[in-house]
């Protein structure tokens, strides 16, 4: 029960910090789950996050997979609810407000000013994941190739994950 409570609090905190989505909140998630609570190691954290990316649905469901890994089905429920409910309440309140306040003037500056922060956080997420996976030259090559592919082409990033798995199978 104490563990489930801790999981709930950890993910509820993350829920309200997640400006810019799952990728932007990853550094804080890593800090809480790996460094503070020691619920999993670096490699496991990164692999679970990658699995959630590869599956359909919102990437934030990485929280569900991690909850399962920490405490089974109950952990999954608690982590998912913690991640979703606080943000959902806020979104619902705002949805009610903005229907009344059409043409809201505050939104553009808010978006414009917060997006660079989200992008910075996303870049840091990539770095943290890379640190956890790069143990040799093969993994380093995968990271660099995937970065270039996603940056320079318009193909779905899913091809990158598939190719990464295949290369891993052969070389790692």
Partner 1 sequence: MSERPSRTALFLGYLQIGLTSFGGVNAWARRFFVEKKGWLTEQEYAEVLGIGQVLPGPNALNTAIGIGTYFHGATGAIVCALGLFTGPMVLLAAVASLYDTYGQLPLVRAILTGIAAAAAGMVMGTAVKMVTKLRPSRTLLCIGLAAFTLAALKVRMPYVLLMLAPLGLIAAWRELDR
User: What is the distance between the alpha carbons of residues 6 and 171, in angstroms, rounded to a whole number?
Assistant: 39
Rounded to whole angstroms, what are the CA distances from 51 to 55, 90, 102? 6, 28, 39
Closest separation in Å from C-beta 93 to partner 1:
10
Q: Between 7 and 164, name the residue whose CB sits nearer to partner 1.
A: 164
Closest separation in Å from C-beta 162 to partner 1:
8
Closest separation in Å from C-beta 103 to partner 1:
9
DSSP 118-156: HHHHHHHHHHHHHHHH-SSHHHHHHHHHHHHHHHH--S-
Closest separation in Å from C-beta 20 to partner 1:
8
Q: Between 2 and 92, name the residue whose CB sits nearer to partner 1.
A: 92
Instruction: Please check whether residue 86 is in contact with residue 25, taking contact to mean a CB–CB distance below 8 angstroms.
Output: no
Q: Between 1 and 137, name the residue whose CB sits nearer to partner 1.
A: 137
Q: Between 3 and 150, name the residue whose CB sits nearer to partner 1.
A: 150
Q: Between 5 and 158, name the residue whose CB sits nearer to partner 1.
A: 158
User: What is the distance between the alpha carbons of residues 135 and 71, in angstroms, rounded to a whole number?
Assistant: 28
Q: What is the largest CA-CA distance in the chain?
A: 57
Closest separation in Å from C-beta 2 to partner 1:
21
What is the distance of C-alpha 52 from the center of its chain?
9
In angstroms, the first-to-last Cα distance of the chain is: 39
């Amino acid at each position: 029960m104490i563990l489930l409570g801790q999981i709930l609090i950890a993910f509820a905190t993350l829920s309200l910090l997640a400006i810019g989505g799952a990728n932007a909140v990853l550094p804080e998630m890593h800090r809480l789950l790996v460094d503070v609570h020691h619920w999993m190691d670096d490699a496991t954290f990164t692999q679970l996050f990658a699995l959630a990316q590869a599956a359909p649905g919102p990437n934030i469901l990485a929280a569900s997979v991690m909850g399962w890994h920490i405490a089974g089905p109950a952990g999954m429920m608690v982590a998912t609810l913690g991640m979703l409910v606080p943000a959902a309440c806020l979104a619902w309140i705002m949805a009610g407000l903005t229907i009344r306040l059409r043409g809201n003037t505050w939104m553009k500056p808010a978006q414009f000013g917060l997006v660079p922060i989200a992008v910075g956080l996303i870049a840091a997420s990539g770095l943290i994941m890379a640190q956890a996976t790069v143990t040799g030259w093969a993994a380093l090559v995968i990271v660099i190739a995937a970065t270039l592919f996603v940056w320079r082409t318009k193909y779905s990033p899913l091809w990158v994950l598939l190719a990464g798995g295949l290369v891993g199978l052969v070389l790692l």
